[in-house]
Amino acid sequence: NAGVTQTPKFRVLKTGQSMTLLCAQDMNHEYMYWYRQDPGMGLRLIHYSVGEGTTAKGEVPDGYNVSRLKKQNFLLGLESAAPSQTSVYFCASSRMGQATSGANVLTFGAGSRLTVL
């Protein structure tokens, strides 16, 4: 009954350091997403994946890279962290894409809070 699991939950980085956030889902979902949430703003899509081995840019992709080598995992990387990347990051997954007409609920992880000093 795990759903979507994100690690780590908290991380503090110095400017210029690199790190990877891991997202794992056990629902056999095809689609996975990385969002960031900043105070007073809605969630903004960073990158997403429509299946194993695929990735695509979202609304705010600059400064981030992603990989989906296995269907159940979606990694978000910061190569050179900047203070502007201080945020809460959410991973989500769904059985189908949001442009389909069938019911397609998003399942979210608990979030990863990143602070860049």
Residues lying near another protein in the complex (CB under 8 A): 4, 35, 40-45, 48, 58-59, 90, 92, 97-111
Q: Closest distance between another protein and the C-beta of residue 111, in Å?
A: 5
Q: Which is nearer to another protein, 28 or 40 (CB)?
A: 40
Q: Closest distance between another protein and the C-beta of residue 80, in Å?
A: 26
Provide the residue type at 13 as one letter.
Answer: L
Quick one: residue 111, left, alpha or beta (phi over 0 = left, psi -120 to 50 = alpha)? left
Q: Which is nearer to another protein, 35 or 64 (CB)?
A: 35
Question: CA geometry: angle at 36 spanning 55 and 96, to 5°?
Answer: 45
Dist. CA 49–CA 93, nearest whole Å? 9
Dist. CA 85–CA 104, nearest whole Å? 29
Q: Closest distance between another protein and the C-beta of residue 9, in Å?
A: 10
Q: Which is nearer to another protein, 13 or 91 (CB)?
A: 91
The DSSP letter of residue 85 is G
Q: Are 60 and 5 in contact (CB under 8 A)?
A: no
Q: Which is nearer to another protein, 44 or 71 (CB)?
A: 44
Q: Closest distance between another protein and the C-beta of residue 58, in Å?
A: 6
